[in-house]
Amino acid sequence: MSLFDDYHPLKGKMFQILKPDGTLHPNMKPLLSDQEIFNLYQKMVFIRLADQKALMLQRQGRMGTYAPIWGQEACQVGSGSVLQKGDWVFPAFRELGASLMMGVPLKTVYLYWMGNEEGSRAPNGINMMPVSIPVGTHPLHAVGTAWAAKLKGDKIVTISYFGDGATSKGDFHEAMNLAGVFKVPTIFFCQNNQFAISVPRKIQTASETIAQKAVAYGVDGIQVDGNDLFAVYAVTKEAVAKARSGGGATLIEGVTYRFGPHTTADDPTKYRREEDIEPWKALDPMVRLRFFLKGRGLWSDEVEKQVTEEAQQEIDQVVKEAEAVPTPSVEDIFKYVYAEMTPQLKEQMEYLKGTL
């Protein structure tokens, strides 16, 4: 039996491998070597520090509104590490981790949030779509790309990342329906971080889980501990293999928590209390992974200091390089939407230039 049979969403079970104390659940083990685990932990450290730096840059007026990933690193690192060159990623607006896992430079990510058009362009050969600010619209694009790949016979997978709030949008359900009908090779990865801006999960939907929404569309669904790197990796690995072999789409619900604000324009103290956050701190994906690595003799305070210092030096250098990039021209806002600029875009561009 597959994971999707054993953990069918209507069975009410959540897939887990790594406990919060760093030990493994009975009869469970990671599908990664100790070295691979340590390498992914290093990436998570880098992502968290880069995330914190972005928050500081915004507060200092050196970056625009930013959506922090804090607390959701395992969802994006665990899933992103399974993807291969040629696969397509459709992010929402909180996918710093997924972007870096796909090979997008941190400088490019920072440039986007600094308002530079260059930040929306992934390097050649990296199929990372631009940030999607409208909630829940991009899963449709992931399905369309997957359908096109299927028709062409390309053995690629598409994945779209979104939050629990996106599952209340009609676009999400349309995408799920199309994915089920055409059995396309796509993965819907819902990072259920318990809040759609200020709206808590419990009044976002009456569904017991988000994963079970897949059942109505004839798509496999599974709920996974989104703070468990090993579980996320295992589930995504099986979903990707199934998609490549023609088995169709999967909805993965990664149960996690957003420790910070929805964006830097948000004040979470207006809708949640500190005592609400406290139980989730023990479930921090970084904490449990450190416990595991320490038990294997791969982590210590000295190791943490070295990893942190190396990451911080690289991040500080990236900030210098990003801030040294010249301000883009007004034309850049319009030139790269279509291969050839439409008359409407030309008119808009000339109008904007005339107001400056």
Contacts of 56 (CB under 8 A, 6+ apart): none
| 110 counts as catalytic | no
Contact 47, 96 (CB under 8 A): yes
**Helix crossing, 285-295 with 73-80: angle to 10°?**
60
Amino acid at 199: V
Is 258 assigned a catalytic role?
yes
- d(CA 107, CA 99) in angstroms, rounded, equals 11
Annotated active-site residue in 8, 138, 262, 290: 262
Residue pair 246/240 in contact (Cβ under 8 Å)? The answer is: no
Q: What is the dihedral of CA 178, 179, 180, 184, to 10 degrees?
A: 130
Structure tokens at 287: 């904490």
Tokens, residue 329: 């021209």
State yes or no: is 257 an active-site residue: no
Q: How far apart are CA 87 and CA 298, in angstroms?
A: 32
Strand extents, DSSP E, 59-128 = 88-90
Residue 167, Cβ density class (10 Å: 0-12 exposed, 13-18 middle, ≥19 buried) = buried
Active-site option among 141, 244, 271, 272: 271
Q: Alpha carbon of 167 to those of 128, 171, 213, 308: distances in Å? A: 22, 8, 9, 36
Residue with tokens 């609400």: 276
The DSSP line for 232-301 is HHHHHHHHHHHHHTT---EEEEEE----S-SSTT--GGGT--HHHHHHHHTT-HHHHHHHHHHHTT---H
Q: Which of 48, 138, 258, 288 is catalytic?
A: 258
Q: Would you please indicate which residues are annotated as catalytic (active-site) residues? A: 258, 262, 271
